[in-house]
Amino acid sequence: MSDSDAVNRVQRAGTLVTEEFDARRRRAPDFAAENEALHGLAQTLNAADGVMLQTLVDTALKLCNAGSAGISLRERDASLPHTFRWVALSGHCADLVGHLLPPDNSPAGVTLQLGSPQLFAFPKRQFDCLAPITHEVTEELVVPVPGTPEPWGALWVMSYDEHLHFDSEHRRILTSLANFTCAALTIRQAKADAEARAEEAEAARNALAVVEAHQVDFIATLGHELRNPLGPIDSALAAAQKLAAGNPSVLSALALANRQVRQLKRLVSDLLDASRIRHGKLSVRHAYGLLGDIVKDAMAAVTDEAERRHQQLQVTLPEYPVTVFADAARLTQVVSNLLSNAVKYTPSGGEIRLRVDAPDPNTIPAHDSTPRDAIVTLRDNGMGIAPGMLPHVFDMFAQSPSARTRSDGGLGIGLSVVRYLVNAHRGEIAVVSEGEGNGTEVTVRLPIVCRSQLDHAAATTHGMSPARILLVDDNADATEALAMLLTLDGHEVRRAQSGPEALSIVESFTPDIALIDINMPGMDGHELARRLREHAQCSSTRLVALTGYAGTMPDSTAIESGFDHRLIKPPSLEDLAYVLRG
């Protein structure tokens, strides 16, 4: 039977019911569950193939609430051209791993013939290859696993419950997992090819470099997809906390949600920072500031968690103000990341000590511009680091076995980013531990201390004077949440979901700043920026390009389109304050 014959047969039989997706009510997304799944999947990228594929189908089974889940891959054996094999299964048919299916008369074959996700009703009645499944299958959702030059196969879930129907949200989740499967299989194949050419050392090194690039780029894509919903959630929570002032019970619930969102944001930020490092886009902005303010801001990020764990957190700062020339935000990220690791891996009641040593800037001769060293030393009596792991603590995605078992263990990216930022400040970082159970000591040496330029402590908040702001983004949830937060902070905000709508708004509203999404359908952000520059009333408007992908648009490209700045979505209030200050 040919592919087209199989498609026509199931269509005539009423087995192919993909159009029902549009008529079914879509369930609400569960981004927290997806982020947890991402965490688990990311940790399997370097595991054995069987572990990675099994984790994928287990994830599909759980997120889709299915009865069975599996991956059907094309056989590479020349004697079985295009035949499918069930290589990983979960649920009721888990004992059928290795089952072969024909290339045409099977759900995977029909799906790949049609080239898009398909929904089948009672597929066992039309496909003899499903006969080994003992249960009656009421529905099967099948999604192609893309590949080059041809698809790898298909990812599918089955329902045995006549009351459980798959909807478009299940299709979105399964499509995302299928894309992950493609990337993981591509990485696996690239690694296999590199190993096969082991005798050609240079070729093998190049192949592994390509694998790493695919991995980092793919994880950056996942980070972007997660950051899109996190932006409006974070803005909405901040707005809700302002609106709920005076209501302790509501504020308590919002505080719990906010802590979880902060954890999600940190994971996503680590993913995006990894991509920015890969593309050379993780930059630093040097300015004069006070070292004490940097440390205090970093402390504020971990104090609540340390108190919740009943840990003793001691900080020793110089008695005199220390002026530094550095990127305060990035150094705060360095110190808070180190403190967060110490809090995370120190048991309840443990001790964490942070000490900062630096020369008094007033003792530096006026004619001497050589930066002096600031030394940050952090000691804890936590779980420590095994000797074999110590040389790899700064490697991307490196984690000890004990860290992988923790629900808050992170993705193994943070210290790699920390080392990059320390090096960007021409500094050095060292990690010392006498082994597991014996605590850890981290020393950061930074040549950033300069002669005093400040007469008093710099403000640690990032407030903005009220401004007229135009938000342009086709994502309605993102603009609504950010607009609500900015309005509560005293700004006058207008929203547009397309370029033409934005041009209509500026006829009667002159913004001080316009935040414009680059990737909009129809009139994209580049064209809108050029059109706004043609309006006389927008001559002093600061145009800010918003992009969700780190490294995809050079700053020079944004400037050529008429933009003054470029920010990663979603922009923080600190980013906006920086832009308004010019």
Q: What pLDDT digit, counting tens, does each position of 408-421 carry?
A: 544 456 688 888 88
**578 token code pair:** 């920086």
Please compute the mean of the pLDDT values over residues 203-224 and round it to a whole number: 65
**Helix (H), strand (E) at residue 297:** helix 291-308
CA dist., res. 129 & res. 100, Å (int): 8
- Return the exposure string of 326-342: e unless at least 16 CB atoms fall within 10 Å of the residue's CB, then b: bbbbbbbbbbbbbbbbb
Which residues lie closer than 8 Å to 284 by C-beta, 6 or more apart?
326, 327, 330, 421, 424, 425
546 shares its domain with 516: yes
419 shares its domain with 511: no
* Number of helices (H), then strands (E), in the chain: 16, 18
544 shares its domain with 500: yes
Q: Residue 60 is part of a domain; what is its CATH number? A: 3.30.450.40
pLDDT tier at 446 (50, 70, 90 boundaries)? Answer: very high
Please compute the mean of the pLDDT values over residues 169-184 and round it to a whole number: 89
Residue 248 pLDDT exceeds 50: yes
55 shares its domain with 166: yes
Residue 77 pLDDT exceeds 60: yes
Domain-located, residue 276: no
pLDDT, residue 387, reads 87
Residue 473 pLDDT exceeds 70: yes
Residue 215 pLDDT exceeds 80: no
pLDDT tier at 228 (50, 70, 90 boundaries)? Answer: low
Taken in order 40, 42, 48, 54, the sign of the CA dihedral is positive
Q: For a pLDDT cut of 70, what percent of the chain falls above it?
A: 79
391 shares its domain with 485: no
Residue 120 pLDDT exceeds 70: yes
Three-state DSSP class for 200? coil
pLDDT, residue 103, reads 81
Please compute the mean of the pLDDT values over residues 379-384 and round it to a whole number: 91
445 shares its domain with 488: no
Domain-located, residue 21: yes
pLDDT, residue 537, reads 83
Calculate the alpha carbon distances from 69 to 46, 65, 146, 216 in Å. Answer: 22, 10, 18, 27
Shortest CA distance to 551 belongs to which of 219, 266, 262, 326?
219
Q: What is the mean pLDDT of the chain?
A: 81
Cis-peptide, bond into residue 570, ω within 30° of zero? yes
118 shares its domain with 65: yes
487 shares its domain with 390: no
**Max Cα separation, the chain?**
89
Provide, for the chain, the percentages of residues in helix, strand and coil under a 3-state DSSP scheme, each rounded to the nearest 5.
45, 20, 35
Residue 3 pLDDT exceeds 50: yes
CA dist., res. 480 & res. 475, Å (int): 9
305 shares its domain with 442: yes
Residue 107 pLDDT exceeds 80: yes
379 shares its domain with 318: yes
Q: What is the CA radius of gyration of the chain?
A: 27
299 shares its domain with 342: yes
Q: What pLDDT digit, counting tens, does each position of 298-326 carry?
A: 888 788 888 888 999 999 999 899 989 98
User: Given the structure tokens 């800037």, which residue do they identify?
Assistant: 361
Residue numbers of the domain that contains 178: 3-196
Among the candidates 418, 449, 480, a domain finishes at 449
What is the number of domains present in the chain? Answer: 3
Q: What pLDDT digit, counting tens, does each position of 259-307 carry?
A: 566 656 666 666 666 666 665 666 677 888 889 888 988 888 788 888 8
CA dist., res. 495 & res. 472, Å (int): 6
CA dist., res. 188 & res. 183, Å (int): 9
387 shares its domain with 443: yes
